[in-house]
Amino acid sequence: MSNPPSILLNIICNNRPTEEDDTPKAAKEWNAPRWTQGLVVKPDEKHVKSQVRLWGAITLVGLVFPPAQDYLGRFTWLVCVAQLTFRGMPREEQEAGGLGINFNAGKGGGHRKVAFALGFGTWVMGSILVYTLLPTWARGQRWTPSLAFTLQNLVFGVASSYLQPYKG
């Protein structure tokens, strides 16, 4: 046992009370919320190809018809929601062939709320990221909306490729 002056000196110099406090305390393990477990799933090659086709086609339509970018930009987040809703779901459980046309609250509809929140959140956060991280030399150009539209669709494509709220 150390004498009192050495304990006081130890506290002052090392900002540590005593040797007894050097033992690490058991860290409480943090667990992610239940709805996030299994949310990020690495896509297979087939899924990646389908997402590249879908988001590439939407982007191509927007680039070929620039006035359509404004309208497409308002609704592409719903396409992202539909993609998130049906990712990983067995074909026989998909309504309307997985096109996302029918969103009634049938059995197992909890993942639809998560998909909606993720799709909307992806749209909002993606828009904020795209417009705030856009370099100053790219702002105010004639092609700036086309670049922003393309980057936003890239964000949607990555989100709908890796996020899977369905836990079936």
**pLDDT-based confidence at residue 35 (cuts at 50, 70, 90):** low
Q: Which two tokens stand for residue 59?
A: 């982007």
CA dihedral 28, 29, 30, 36 (to 10 degrees): -160
User: CA 104 to CA 64: how far, in whole Å?
Assistant: 35
What one-letter code names the amino acid at 97? Answer: G
Separation of first and last alpha carbons in the chain: 60
Domain boundaries, the chain: 34-162
Q: What is the pLDDT of residues 110-129, one digit of tens each?
A: 777 878 888 888 888 988 98
- Return phi, psi of residue 163, to 5°: -90, 140
Span 39-67, pLDDT tens digits = 777 888 998 999 999 999 999 999 999 99
**What gap in Å lies between CA 70 and CA 106, rounded to an integer?**
33
